[in-house]
């Protein structure tokens, strides 16, 4: 049998129908045809120290973000004194701003040229104002009117979320530039996920200690703000120092065939990115799943207090149960992924969270042990939401390079980071609106029946339905382990041809 020419295969690969993806290709023909001409060069194995340093950087945003997800709406309504609608409006206002600055920062970081590379300057410059803004966010200003408080927190949220984007987005995109290997990327994102969950656990542990030892509510949250945002500078420093050498190894390995810049028109690039069907599946998976998880996180304090009639300390314990289980399961799911693929891991884990959340609506105030047991099963599923979508993204970036010739990690990751933050905002805003409509009374010892039912539904069944949506998107995701290997082989040939064409010898011959 005559083996196909690599030039033909590369042409087919770059003009694939985005709706059919790699499923339309003859796997054997592609691999045999390219391997005849190309040997896939391997980078040195990704050291554990690089994984650890990269994961450490997650703490800079994870601790402040987790405290915001769990407590910020509650802080605005019950400590600062905002109405639920205005409190949700503050957070939605900040996320609308994120809709602008997330793709902008991603695009700009893709185009950044500096001695430190594309991502590190953003991380180092943004981390100090990030710490300052999040400390101020947990401070109650001396204002008496609702609109005065709203204006203060709305303006502050613009700066806080812009700084968070400047740090978190380039940091997240850095994962795609530390390895090309399918399993190493999963391991790298698993480490990031473990630190993300660990950051949530650390934030909750700090909250429980502060709540036990400080009685004044305003002082509690001021102290939490300082404790959560203060160490961010150190965490980013460790990340940069620990990954810097590996970053340049990968950059050298990819050679000068990979362009540093792309189109000068942001909107044109955004449209191009959204043509990628595999990427749209990740967006759907992540948006549905993350909004569901954040709804549960936002409603947990209300569920524990208003419905279960338990002391405030049980909220932190329940959250620690979910997050503690998740951090253990990230390690287990990462090992499972080595023998299967990323999509399979999600399809195995997420249904556990669906079942657990669906069952929460049946829990009565006397069923404390059942509540905690369901929290364990929810944590087993939540772990896959932390690790799978972000580990899929670098593979989509490789496919995009094959089809366009461009490396656009920043733009791709900006969309998912935006969804991560937008999901929190949707959960907070929707929770505030529905609680207000149901007649929730801030600070009351007893709540109306409608408010209690709203809390129970938003705590379990509604997030479960959203997670079912994420399972559908995961099922439709087209890139598995074998298909990613095909992409890498085709990329290697494409890069080799470009370097050959750009070499001085080739230019002399063409002249």
**Sequence-ordered alpha helix ranges (H) in 255-341:** 266-274, 277-302, 313-339
- Residue 130, pLDDT > 80, answer yes
The token duo for 215 is 């009685």
C-alpha span between 180 and 182 (Å, rounded): 7
Residue linked to tokens 């500096």: 114
What's the rounded Cα separation, in Å, for the pair 294 and 381? 14
Predicted confidence (pLDDT) per residue in 351-391, tens digit? 999 999 999 999 998 899 999 999 999 999 999 988 898 88
Range from 35-49, 233-247, 387-401 carrying the lowest mean pLDDT: 35-49
Higher model confidence: residue 235 or residue 311?
235
**Which CA distances in Å does 260 have to 176, 263, 465?**
14, 11, 41
Query: Is 398 in a helix, a strand, or coil?
Result: helix
**Nearest-5° Cα angle at 303, 299 to 305:** 120
pLDDT tens digit sequence for 131-158 = 998 889 998 888 878 888 999 999 888 8
Task: Quote the percentage of the chain above a pLDDT of 70.
Answer: 84
- Can you give the residue ranges of every domain in the chain? 47-499
CATH class of 47-499: mainly alpha
358 touches 464 (CB < 8 A): yes
Distance of CA 480 to the CA centre of its chain: 20
| DSSP track, 456-485 | HHHHTHHHHHHHHHHHHHHHT----HHHHH
Residue pLDDT, tens place only, 71-109: 888 888 888 888 888 887 887 777 777 767 888 888 888
Give the list of residues 6+ apart from residue 501 with CB closer than 8 angstroms, or none. none
User: For the chain, what is the mean pLDDT?
Assistant: 81
Higher-pLDDT residue of 415, 210 = 210
Each residue's pLDDT tens digit, 222-253: 898 888 888 888 999 999 999 999 998 888 87
Give the per-residue pLDDT at 127: 92
Tell me the C-alpha distance between 418 and 271, whole Å: 16
Q: Which two tokens stand for residue 458?
A: 């938003």
Answer yes or no: are the C-beta atoms of 360 and 309 closer than 8 Å.
no
């Amino acid at each position: 049998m005559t083996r196909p020419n690599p030039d033909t295969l590369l042409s087919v690969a770059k003009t694939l129908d985005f709706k059919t993806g790699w499923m339309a290709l003859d796997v054997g023909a592609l691999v045999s045809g390219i391997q005849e001409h190309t040997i896939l060069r391997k980078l040195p194995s990704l050291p554990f120290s690089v994984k650890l340093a990269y994961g450490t950087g997650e703490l800079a945003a994870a601790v402040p973000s987790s405290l915001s997800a769990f407590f910020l709406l509650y802080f605005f309504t019950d400590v600062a004194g905002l109405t639920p609608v205005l409190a949700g409006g503050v957070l939605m206002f900040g996320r609308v701003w994120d809709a602008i600055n997330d793709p902008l920062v991603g695009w700009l970081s893709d185009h950044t040229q500096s001695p430190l590379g594309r991502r590190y300057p953003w991380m180092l410059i943004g981390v100090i104002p990030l710490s300052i803004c999040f400390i101020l966010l947990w401070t109650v200003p001396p204002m008496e009117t609702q609109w005065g408080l709203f204006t203060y927190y709305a303006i502050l949220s613009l700066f806080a979320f812009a700084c968070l984007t400047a740090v978190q987005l380039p940091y997240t995109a850095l994962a795609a530039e530390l390895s090309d290997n399918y399993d190493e990327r999963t391991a790298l994102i698993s480490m990031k996920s473990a630190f993300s969950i660990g950051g949530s656990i650390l934030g909750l542990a700090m909250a429980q200690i502060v709540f036990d030892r400080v009685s004044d509510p305003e002082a509690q949250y001021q102290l939490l703000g300082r404790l959560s945002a203060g160490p961010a500078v150190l965490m980013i420093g460790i990340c940069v120092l620990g990954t810097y050498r590996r970053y340049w190894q990968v950059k050298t390995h990819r050679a000068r065939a990979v362009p540093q810049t792309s189109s000068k028109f942001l909107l044109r690039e955004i449209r191009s990115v959204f043509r990628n069907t595999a990427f749209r599946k990740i967006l759907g998976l992540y948006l549905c799943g993350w909004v569901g998880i954040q709804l549960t996180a936002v409603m947990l304090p209300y569920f524990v207090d208003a419905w279960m009639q338990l002391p405030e300390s049980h909220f932190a314990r329940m959250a620690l149960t979910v997050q503690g289980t998740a951090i253990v399961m990230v390690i287990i799911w990462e090992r499972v992924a080595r023998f299967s693929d990323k999509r399979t891991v999600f399809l195995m884990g997420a249904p556990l969270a669906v079942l657990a959340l669906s069952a929460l609506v049946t829990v009565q105030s006397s069923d404390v042990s059942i509540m905690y047991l369901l929290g364990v099963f929810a944590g087993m599923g939540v772990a896959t939401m932390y690790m799978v979508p972000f580990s899929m993204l670098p593979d989509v970036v490789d496919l995009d390079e094959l089809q366009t010739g461009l490396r656009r990690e920043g733009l791709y990751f900006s969309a998912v980071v935006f969804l991560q933050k937008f999901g929190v905002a949707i959960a907070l805003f929707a929770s505030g609106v529905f609680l207000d409509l149901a007649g929730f009374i801030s600070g009351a010892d007893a709540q109306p029946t409608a408010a209690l039912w709203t809390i129970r539904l938003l705590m379990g069944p509604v997030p479960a339905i959203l997670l079912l949506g994420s399972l559908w998107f995961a099922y439709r995701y087209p890139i598995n382990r074998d298909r990613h290997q095909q992409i890498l082989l085709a990329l290697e040939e494409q890069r080799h041809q470009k370097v050959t064409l750009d070499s001085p010898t080739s230019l002399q011959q063409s002249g």
